[in-house]
Structure 1
């Protein structure tokens, strides 16, 4: 239903005409999309299609050759990665960035201390842990019963969820996840999908995910962007896109029935 005089809310993230070239190699070409607040979107595409480069431009690791990126109405392309992170963009890489020799509690306390502006071993030793916040994050990632367990002893999926919780120690509005279910069992994958939905539903987070696991993408049942050769070639829901000839040719393969 359209209500006259009521404007749609501005997108949280707006990518407009983004391009990135490395010499003669075109990694991104005229990429445009918008993410509304409290939404989940997944980017699908074959290896080398530009997904990681896109994440690198959004989080400030790379500067675009052309185009612009806006976050919460502010242009951020050209800002440093540290400044972009302070605005509320957090990124998780494929390999868990956790401290294996520390306990779950110590990992969470370290994240809380760092986001509080305290760095270095000495500073961390002097900081009094925020036990309430720590326990809240442990509960969020389903590790309340393993606070004193060394992280190296956790299952792969538990490490991935722990890192997501550590990222949320800061004031995050956009969470970017790079293949968060790589190497996981079906059960672990479904646990991550449930956590992502919880972050959107209960915390109002916007989540952008690069993923290859089609079971995960289908289980999320959220909008999908399909990338190929540095462009977004299709967008929509998974069930529609899996029958799109462009998607079948570029990613799913002829005769795919994922």
Structure 2
């Protein structure tokens, strides 16, 4: 599905990524764990075409995508969720989903008036997946931070998404909200066959996912494995867990 091979990114004399390599199989969830400044967001910027690589390559379904425009990468089925929710606070949950559905093929109708019945059914199904069925008529401004994050994920699913990139989706959330996001990610994998790559610094969230973990530090992958393995790796304890304990 996704292959990152020897990825390097320099900004002048600063090396943000230094030879990152990994592969992700279709229908799986993987997490990249690391402190702020370790290169996680830069990696996503290279995968989604926001930045150009200095060296190395990114492949999706066997096709090289580094060097392609962001719009072409989106059309291939890669969607990115940024840390800050990209939702319309003055509209209802239903209207946000309707905007996403209507815009799927360029038909930005007048908020629901041009949605056919099958699309309304799909809207309601997306709300159900995100756990927002009971809040369809709520203004988004009334939602919690975690609910807004789940809404935006549902909006992204109106596209032909095969790989979902989640950039620190639980930042600023309570434990309960974090668990809800983890549950949603697992549902997307298990029931919808979606491939998900998460970058995070929240150890609890990554543990809750129960997914394979790559640990990044100083632009390199320093460890990989499940939670039990990486939490006992001396390099991780020194560079990440120890730093968190001393923060």
TM-score by length of 1: 0.91
Q: Aligned equivalents of 2:104 and 2:73: distance in 1? A: 14
Deviation readout 1:35-70 (Å, 9 max, x if unpaired)? 000111111111111100000000000010011000
Q: Equivalent residue for 2:159?
A: 170
Q: Aligned equivalents of 1:151 and 1:116: distance in 2? A: 24
Q: Aligned equivalents of 2:72 and 2:79: distance in 1? A: 11
Q: Equivalent residue for 1:110?
A: 99
Structure 2: which 5+ residue stretches go unaligned?
none
Q: Aligned equivalents of 1:255 and 1:29: distance in 2? A: 23
Q: Aligned equivalents of 1:255 and 1:99: distance in 2? A: 34
CA spacing shift, 1:38–1:125, aligned 2, 3 Å: closer
Q: Aligned equivalents of 1:18 and 1:235: distance in 2? A: 17
Q: Aligned equivalents of 2:144 and 2:128: distance in 1? A: 16
Q: CA deviation at 1:27?
A: 0.6
Q: CA deviation at 1:145?
A: 1.1
Query: SS at 1:43's partner residue?
Result: strand
Q: CA deviation at 1:211?
A: 1.0
Q: CA deviation at 1:165?
A: 0.4
Q: CA deviation at 1:194?
A: 0.6
Q: Aligned equivalents of 1:74 and 1:174: distance in 2? A: 14
Whether the 8 Å contact between 2:36 and 2:201 is mirrored in structure 1 is no
Q: Aligned residue pairs: how many?
A: 243
Q: Equivalent residue for 2:20?
A: 31
Supply the RMSD in Å over aligned alpha carbons: 1.5
Q: Equivalent residue for 1:142?
A: 131
Q: Pick the aligned partner of 1:96 from 85, 89, 97.
A: 85
Q: Equivalent residue for 2:65?
A: 76
Q: Give runs of aligned pairs for residues 1-258 of structure 1, distance below 5 A.
A: 12-119=1-108, 127-128=114-115, 130-253=119-242
Deviation readout 1:151-207 (Å, 9 max, x if unpaired)? 000111110100000000011110010111111111111111111000000111110
Q: Aligned equivalents of 1:30 and 1:82: distance in 2? A: 26
TM-score by length of 2: 0.95
Whether the 8 Å contact between 1:118 and 1:124 is mirrored in structure 2 is no
Bigger mean CA offset, 85-94 vs 124-133? 124-133
